[in-house]
Chain A
Amino acid sequence: MARAAQLGRLTVAIAWRRARLVERRPQTATARSLVLTVPGWPGHLPGQHVDVRLTADDGYQAVRSYSLAAPADADRIELGVQTVPDGEVSPYLADDLPLGADVEVRGPLGNWFVWRTEQTEPVLLVAGGSGVVPLAAMVRAHRRAQSRSPFHLLYSVRTPDEIWYRDHLADGDPRLDVRIVYTRQAPPGSTRAPGRIAPADLEEPTARLEPTSPVYVCGPTGFVEAVGNLLTDMGRDPATIRTERFG
């Protein structure tokens, strides 16, 4: 394939590749991790995404973007799928696509919303709901690389039932600091009242950053907008804030 993606170089992948579903794990009542094998997968950077294409029997096609949730593992890729009620694609991927069946994927895509293991500054990750997916790939890559760069993850969820990747986020990595913010219902004993991310939630994690430290914000459009505004109001250089919005 003349135009196969080469990591860290400029050329991008344009081909649709066959991807086989080999594992499906629940993350929450409505969220799933899908593991697919993609023969010839060229590898990817944490934060990159793929486009997934579904084809109906009559030829109708639907394409949606999904973030890669883990670093590359040979030809295995992991996606995070949040069911959108009444959605056309996500309920099918979350519950109906049979194990062993194929879809098509195109990628890896996007070189902007990525963290590279050679980066050394402290990093702040801010996730809203299923926006945690590409940030989880960064957390896993950070751990795998034994990076010395301190990582802080501020993760906003509505209720304790909606936390993805519990095992990965709570395994005592000394260079990973995870704070969870509950917007609707906090677990018993919480000292913080439920509510959206406020300046007070950002003060401590941003205090540990360097002026050039990157902040990665991923979540619904309104969440990303709100957090971006809070960060710039606190004096962060907008050029250091990288955002990824989804609907």
Chain B
Amino acid sequence: MNSFSPGFRGRSRSLADRLPPGQYPTESFPVLSAGPTPRVPTETWAFTVTTELGDTHSWTWEQMMALPQQETVQDIHCVTRWSKFDTHWRGVPLDAFLEDVETAADYVVVSSYGGYTTNLPLEDLLDGKAWIAHTYDGYPLSPEHGGPARLLVPHLYFWKSAKWVRGLRLTLEDDPGFWESVGYHNYGDPWREQRNWGD
């Protein structure tokens, strides 16, 4: 029994097979922000892949929408301890952008409109594990949730699923991004509870 704030429980933390350690389920879709919400018109939107040699590959909104589209239903897990089950998305798997890109890189730095960055291994974006998502629950993704398009990497903590995504930079070394450089984990596996630098 703690001597401070008797009876305080915080949010309820229940156990379920689908719930990674330390998470609680939520019906809502909380919005976390590290800055003002960018408003990016699809007319000027572009997605650019830059290789470790500086070669670039770009797609406009129309070109991205002309790529093969996928529907996917995913559980998502935020490092702030909420998890949301069965979220419905539509988008383009990263494989479609990366299949013609020549690279020897093992890592990626994802960048966003508004300046946000996050890093992850390249292989975590491939083989149908990640998408550029533009539709949530049947509607165009709202700016608050990262629209017009966000990265979706549901098997990692949700800060890796960069909102307002604008490009990938392929790198030979793992280069910490916005939250990773201030103590968050470079990989961020919710099932191994890799929240922080030392986990």
Contacts and interface: CB of A to CB of B under 8 A. Distances in A.
- Check whether chain A touches chain B (CB < 8 angstroms): yes
B3 A56 contact: no
Interface in A85-119: 88, 92, 96-98, 101-104
B4 interface: yes
A98 B7 contact: yes
A178 interface: no
A57 interface: yes
A57 B11 CA distance: 12
A28 interface: no
A57 B4 CA distance: 9
Interface string B2-36: 11111111110000000000000000000000000
A53 B4 CA distance: 9
A13 interface: no
Contacts, number: 42
A88 B11 contact: yes
B6 to A, nearest CB: 5
A54 B8 contact: yes
Interface in A41-74: 53-57, 59-60, 62
Nearest to A16: B4
A55 B8 contact: yes
A92 B4 CA distance: 13
B10 A96 contact: no
A103 B5 contact: yes
A96 B4 contact: no
A15 to B, nearest CB: 14
Interface of B: 1-11
Interface of A: 18, 53-57, 59-60, 62, 88, 92, 96-98, 101-104
The 10 closest A-B pairs by CB, nearest first: A54-B5, A55-B4, A60-B10, A54-B8, A56-B10, A103-B5, A55-B2, A56-B8, A56-B9, A57-B2
29 contacts: A54-B4, A54-B5, A54-B10, A55-B2, A55-B5, A55-B8, A56-B5, A56-B8, A56-B9, A57-B1, A59-B2, A60-B10, A62-B8, A62-B10, A88-B10, A88-B11, A92-B5, A92-B7, A92-B8, A96-B7, A97-B7, A97-B8, A98-B6, A101-B5, A101-B6, A102-B3, A102-B4, A103-B5, A104-B4
Given A56-B2, A57-B9, 4 more contacts: A53-B4, A56-B5, A56-B10, A96-B8
